[in-house]
């Protein structure tokens, strides 16, 4: 509580007391009281008013500080009216009722927004599942009638699939616990599946693949990790060099298995590197590529956080390396060792 403002608000009360003291002093002198008697009465008045104001200030400051501490401990601070005690003073009770009304209105609006977001997310998920059927059908038609034209179409269908998957995982990223299934998976299988998902993209852009032998298995959700790898592959192709190479490797480091996806592309400027996982951030390279949205790496980071996977990026003028770190349970590590 601001001390200066508190006493400033008490100025009308203090001025009223001062006027009353002056009037009483004049009255006491008129009726013949001595100076010592008048001074004694004035001193007693001042002492009583000072003690009363000091005690009131201390009590109010203590109440306000307790209220501030209570509010600071709440994760949802708009619920303060639900936990605070009913004030003693009449004017404070008016503010208490206002807080109650505001909190109720806020809760109603939050519930409405949550309901609308849930409905929208469910619609997006349903639409994406529906659109996958014609996409799959078109892929089968193209693969059964191979021509130069269908090869181009298959590439575009791969992009369409990747964008629809991105929309689906973005919609689900807030509630991953309802969708993922953690199981033992071989890193080599996931890497090769991700490569197969992007085979036309890789062939069309002349990407040379280097996949080291991987014997490690980790525990995670195969579908989500596959999606993350798809995003990393798409980025490597998007920012490729003239003779592009995409390298996959895995190694065990203490209690972690680290999967590294490395390319020899144009790299990421050092000034942009700390922000590449921010939503919507495209950076210097993104301004030269019209397809850049700043969503892919943001989604990768968000999903990795949900799955407990570490993700870091290292880049130079000669390419970019993205490392995915999978934690190994101590008991599992002993069994596998």
Q: Tell me: the pLDDT tens digits for 112-126?
A: 988 888 888 888 878
Does 147 score more than 90 pLDDT?
Answer: no
Instruction: Answer whether 86's CB lies under 8 Å from 63's CB.
Output: no
| Residues 300, 227: Cα–Cα separation, whole Å | 8
Q: Where are the domains of the chain?
A: 3-105, 180-336
Query: What band does 335 get if pLDDT is binned at 50, 70 and 90?
Result: very low
Q: How many helices (H) and strands (E) does the chain have?
A: 12, 7
Residue-level pLDDT at 271: 86
- Mean pLDDT rounded to a whole number for the chain: 84
Query: What band does 291 get if pLDDT is binned at 50, 70 and 90?
Result: low
Greater confidence (247 vs 271) lies with: 247
What's the pLDDT tens digit per position in 1-28? 677 888 888 888 889 999 999 998 998 8
Residue-level pLDDT at 205: 87
Residue-level pLDDT at 117: 83
Instruction: Answer whether 200's CB lies under 8 Å from 151's CB.
Output: yes
Does 261 score more than 90 pLDDT?
Answer: yes
pTM, full prediction: 0.64
Report which of 273, 165, 183 is spatially closest to residue 219, judged by C-alpha positions: 183
Angle at 112 between CA 110 and CA 117, to 5 degrees: 95
| Residues 82, 86: Cα–Cα separation, whole Å | 10
C-alpha distance from residue 12 to each of 25, 26, 48, 87, 93 (Å) = 20, 21, 17, 24, 23
pLDDT (average), residues 239-248: 89
Residue-level pLDDT at 332: 44
DSSP secondary-structure letter at 247?
E
What are the beta bridge partners of residue 310? 325
Residue-level pLDDT at 331: 39
pLDDT (average), residues 64-83: 80
Which residue is listed with tokens 């575009």? 156
Q: Domain 180-336: state its class.
A: alpha beta
What's the pLDDT tens digit per position in 183-215? 889 999 999 999 998 888 898 889 999 999 998
């Amino acid at each position: 509580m601001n001390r200066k403002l508190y006493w400033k608000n008490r100025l009308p009360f203090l001025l009223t007391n001062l006027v009353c003291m002056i009037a009483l002093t004049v009255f006491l002198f008129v009726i013949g009281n001595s100076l010592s008697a008048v001074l004694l009465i004035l001193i007693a008045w001042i002492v009583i008013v000072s003690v009363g104001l000091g005690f009131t200030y201390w009590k109010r400051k203590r109440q306000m500080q307790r209220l501030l501490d209570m509010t600071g401990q709440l994760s949802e601070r708009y619920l303060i009216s639900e936990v605070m005690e009913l004030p003693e003073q009449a004017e404070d009770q008016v503010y208490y009722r206002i807080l109650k009304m505001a909190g109720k209105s806020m809760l109603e609006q939050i519930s409405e927004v949550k309901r609308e977001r849930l409905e929208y997310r469910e619609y997006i998920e349903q639409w994406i599942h529906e659109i996958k059927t014609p996409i799959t059908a078109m892929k089968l038609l193209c693969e059964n009638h191979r021509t130069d034209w269908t090869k181009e179409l298959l590439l575009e269908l791969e992009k369409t699939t990747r964008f629809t998957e991105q929309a689906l995982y973005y919609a689900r990223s807030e509630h991953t616990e309802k969708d993922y299934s953690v199981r033992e998976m071989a890193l080599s299988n996931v890497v090769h599946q991700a490569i197969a998902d992007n085979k036309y993209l890789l062939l069309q852009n002349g990407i040379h693949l280097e996949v080291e032998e991987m014997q490690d298995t980790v525990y995670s959700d195969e579908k989500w990790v596959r999606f993350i790898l798809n995003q990393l592959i798409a980025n490597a192709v998007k920012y490729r060099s003239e003779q592009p190479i995409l390298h996959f490797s895995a190694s065990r480091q203490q209690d972690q298995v680290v999967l590294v996806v490395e390319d020899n592309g144009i790299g990421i400027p050092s000034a942009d590197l700390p922000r590449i996982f921010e939503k919507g951030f495209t950076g210097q390279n993104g301004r030269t590529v019209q397809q850049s949205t700043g969503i892919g790496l943001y989604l990768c980071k968000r999903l990795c956080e949900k799955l407990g996977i570490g993700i870091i990026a290292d880049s130079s003028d000669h390419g970019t390396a993205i490392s995915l770190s999978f934690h190994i349970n101590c008991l599992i590590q002993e069994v596998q060792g």
